[in-house]
Amino acid sequence: MLDQRKSEIWKALGIGPQWIERDELAKAAEEAVKAKAQAAAVSPNSQPQAPTPAAASASSFANRAPQTSEAVTKPVASTSATTPSRVTSIISDRNAPPPRSARPEPAAKPAYRSASEARGVRPEAYTEARIHQIATADWQTLKQLVQDCRACEISSSRLHPVFGQGYPPCRLMLIGEAPGAEEDRLGQPFVGPSGKLLDKILEAAKLDREKDLCIFNTLKCRPPLNATPEKAESMACRPFLERQIELIDPEVIVAMGKPAASWFFPDLKTLNPYRGKVHNLTVQGKPRKVIVTYHPSYLLRSPQEKRKAWLDWCLILDTLS
């Protein structure tokens, strides 16, 4: 059901004055998918027709195939390494031994290292002693362990580790990807541009960031240049979030963005198949409800997806109710 909070979330997302009922949008999306499938079956090679009004209203629901372009490589004229004087001497003296082939030049070293090389994970990150220490830590000890962590090389480039926000117990837990520049500078989660959008959503939903929920990231340190976390880095940080979930003991977990959703669904390729539903999972030994939605930073880059995000937050409110 639509209530005042959901209306306020719609406004907070800045979608616009147009209102679309949830059932209407879902039906339009289904019709758009069927129309696309029928058009492909009739004429696979034909150009797509103009979308119907129903399809247009659900354009943000439909999955778009990525466009690719093939690079055209032009042949480069080869140049001979033999000088004219050398050619003349070889022709004039048939009995001269053939010239020694030039020693091959060593392969040029890459100007940069791969992310996994540049941000390697140290072997001690996976020791049983470290994992046991984290798994049995209380809240204050866990904070200190995050502060002292040097499991991977990105800890050397961070300004502040970001433990998270909130205290156990807490019913609602939001999980993001990794700290950004502002989070790294202040040591707090979601305080940059994406945090401001999240604050607007939470305020519209009448959820107090200090009392009603807690916020954590899958990674506690900011990767250089906000790079996507490597799998090894996420694995090194995983024991921290596992212990945080155990101590917070949330009933509802909201995974914001693909890296956060992948923490619960390792085979996840895209978010859409996992959105719009409540996943009843056993997380850290207890049944919990997991809801997948977009990361606020993605919504800033892709405002056309805000309608989907609104539906997700409506689902979150319904689940909490």
pLDDT digits (tens, 9 = 90+) for 267-285: 999 999 999 999 999 999 9
pLDDT of residue 59: 44
Is residue 69 very low, low, confident or very high in pLDDT (cuts 50, 70, 90)?
very low
Query: What is the C-alpha to C-alpha distance for residues 181 and 274, in angstroms, rounded to an integer?
Result: 29
Q: CA nearest 295: which of 209, 193, 208?
A: 193
3-state DSSP assignment of residue 279: strand
Predicted confidence (pLDDT) at residue 47 exceeds the cutoff of 70: no
Is residue 38 very low, low, confident or very high in pLDDT (cuts 50, 70, 90)?
confident
Query: What is the C-alpha to C-alpha distance for residues 171 and 163, in angstroms, rounded to an integer?
Result: 18
Residue given tokens 């990150």 in the structure block: 125
Query: What is the C-alpha to C-alpha distance for residues 82 and 45, in angstroms, rounded to an integer?
Result: 52
Residue type, 212: D
Mean pLDDT of 286-311: 96
Cis upstream peptide for 169 (omega within 30°): yes
Give the CA dihedral 274, 277, 282, 287, nearest 10 degrees.
Answer: 160
What digits encode the pLDDT tens for the residues 107-151?
443 333 344 444 567 777 778 899 999 999 999 999 999 999 998
What digits encode the pLDDT tens for the residues 143-165?
999 999 998 888 888 999 999 99
Q: CA nearest 149: which of 249, 41, 55, 237?
A: 237
Predicted confidence (pLDDT) at residue 51 exceeds the cutoff of 60: no
Mean pLDDT of 293-318: 95
**Could you give the C-alpha distances from 192 to 3, 125, 180, 184, 297, in angstroms and in order?**
29, 29, 7, 10, 9
Q: Which tops the pLDDT comparison, 249 or 86?
A: 249
Predicted confidence (pLDDT) at residue 319 exceeds the cutoff of 90: yes
User: Two tokens at 236?
Assistant: 């090194």
Predicted confidence (pLDDT) at residue 70 exceeds the cutoff of 50: no
pTM for this entry: 0.68
Q: Is the dihedral of CA 242, 216, 283, 207 positive or negative?
A: positive
Q: CA 289: distance to chain centroid? A: 20
Query: What is the C-alpha to C-alpha distance for residues 254 and 292, in angstroms, rounded to an integer?
Result: 6
User: Is-contact 46 238, C-beta < 8 A?
Assistant: no
Mean pLDDT of the chain: 79
Predicted confidence (pLDDT) at residue 78 exceeds the cutoff of 90: no
Mean pLDDT of 175-191: 93
**b (16+ CB within 10 A) / e for 262-277:** bbbbeebeebeebbbe
Residue type, 6: K
In terms of C-beta distances under 8 Å and separation of at least 24 residues, what long-range contacts does 59-67 make, across chains too?
59/32, 59/304, 60/304, 60/305, 60/307, 60/308, 61/25, 61/26, 61/28, 61/29, 61/32, 61/308, 62/29, 62/32, 62/33, 62/36, 63/270, 63/272
Which of 36-50, 54-68, 241-255 is least confident?
Answer: 54-68
pLDDT of residue 165: 96
Query: What is the C-alpha to C-alpha distance for residues 280 and 252, in angstroms, rounded to an integer?
Result: 10
* pLDDT above 90 coverage of the chain, percent: 55
Which of 39-48, 138-147, 244-253, 279-288 is least confident?
Answer: 39-48
Q: Is 166 exposed, middle or buried (0-12, 13-18, 19+ CB in 10 A)?
A: buried
For helices 22-42 and 306-320, the axis angle rounded to 10 degrees is 130
Do the bridges between strand 286-293 and strand 252-256 make them parallel or antiparallel, or are there none, so unpaired? parallel
Predicted confidence (pLDDT) at residue 86 exceeds the cutoff of 50: no
* pLDDT above 70 coverage of the chain, percent: 69
Query: What is the C-alpha to C-alpha distance for residues 180 and 166, in angstroms, rounded to an integer?
Result: 19
Euclidean distance between the first and final Cα of the chain, in Å? 11
